[in-house]
Structure 1
Amino acid sequence: MQVADKKIVRIHYTLSNVDGEVMDSSEGQEPLAYLHGTGSIVPGLEKELLGKQAGDKVNVEVTPEEGYGELNAELVQEVDRAAFEGVDDIQVGMRFMAQTAWGEQPVIVTAMTEETVTVDGNHPLAGQTLKFDVELVEVRDASEEELEHGHAHGEGGHHH
């Protein structure tokens, strides 16, 4: 069976940056399961897996446009420390949920002064070319429930 929309796909993967540094991997874990065609994985990888089948191994390079997007300077903001009321020890690298006009947005602290904290709402992999080494483990039809819920269930997928 080939990868196509409305198929559940299980993959083992290693994600590296262009310097070869491993950023994420399913090694030692269950394969990642996702519903193809729903945007559950980055568009560039999803596009390259189309038509593949169990047992195939692929190496995919994904540009920022087809991955987590380009860096958006508007998502980097300097905020008054008072916005972090109740947090005594703010450190670079800490993650918070910020209230924005379009809802909650995850941000990471990237810099600080005595009066301000700089936060970045970009995805940590935004602006980066990504390299995926993928082994397709299984391709199967999605169940009605998986189609209704919009994601894979069971091993490597969502558990209700």
Structure 2
Amino acid sequence: MRIESDKVVTLRYSMFNGKDELIENMLAGPAIRYMHGAGKILPALEDQLNGMLAGEERTIWLNKDDYPGELDDDFRVEIIIDEVRPATDEELKNGIAEQTVREDVCGDDCIC
């Protein structure tokens, strides 16, 4: 299933700034989940994820000149798509992907 609006996407990533410094690493940790097209992630990133498939890995380049006012630096994002599925009626109604608590992975206070 391809990433498009109203699909719930589960992914892991590492993000590097324009100096190639690691600023966030979510590859080894629990994946994040969002509903594509609901405006919950950076629009520049969402644009680049369109059409990707579960299991796909990609390097995405986000250049501040291509997204004026949206980015304050250039970024390289290493992405792994873990899952793509249709949003449930409840998720569509609320505009957010259902999150599951994974105490075995991230403890009592984490939703991942």
Same fold, judged at TM 0.5 (above)? yes
For structure 2, the residue ranges without an aligned partner over 5 or more in a row are: 102-110
* Alignment TM-score, normalising by the size of structure 1: 0.58
**In the alignment, does 2:88 pair up with 1:143?**
yes
Select the structure that is richer in strand: 1
Q: Do the aligned partners of residues 68 and 29 (structure 1) sit closer, same or farther apart at CA in structure 2, a change above 3 Å counting? A: farther
Give the aligned CA root-mean-square deviation in angstroms. Answer: 2.0
Moved over 2 A (4+): 63-69
Query: In 2, Cα distance between the equivalents of 1:66 and 1:25?
Result: 23
Deviation at 1:68, TM superposition (A): 6.6
Q: Which residue of 1 aligns with 2:42?
A: 42
SS in structure 1 of the partner of residue 11 of structure 2: strand
**What pairs with 1:48-127 in structure 2 (closer than 5 Å)?**
48-64=48-64, 66=67, 69=70, 126-127=71-72
Query: In 2, Cα distance between the equivalents of 1:61 and 1:68?
Result: 16
**In the alignment, does 2:80 pair up with 1:152?**
no
* Alignment TM-score, normalising by the size of structure 2: 0.80
Deviation at 1:12, TM superposition (A): 0.5
Query: In 2, Cα distance between the equivalents of 1:34 and 1:67?
Result: 24
SS in structure 2 of the partner of residue 137 of structure 1: strand
Q: Do the aligned partners of residues 68 and 56 (structure 1) sit closer, same or farther apart at CA in structure 2, a change above 3 Å counting? A: farther
- Larger-gyration structure (1/2): 1
Deviation at 1:26, TM superposition (A): 1.2
Q: How many residues align?
A: 101
On the 8 A contact 1:43/1:67 being kept in 2, the answer is no
Deviation at 1:40, TM superposition (A): 1.3
Query: In 2, Cα distance between the equivalents of 1:67 and 1:40?
Result: 19
Deviation at 1:51, TM superposition (A): 0.8
**In the alignment, does 2:41 pair up with 1:27?**
no
For structure 1, the residue ranges without an aligned partner over 5 or more in a row are: 70-125
Residues 35-73 of structure 1 show CA distances to partners (whole Å, capped at 9, x for unaligned) of 00112111121111111110111111112353872xxxx
**In the alignment, does 2:16 pair up with 1:16?**
yes
Query: In 2, Cα distance between the equivalents of 1:31 and 1:150?
Result: 19
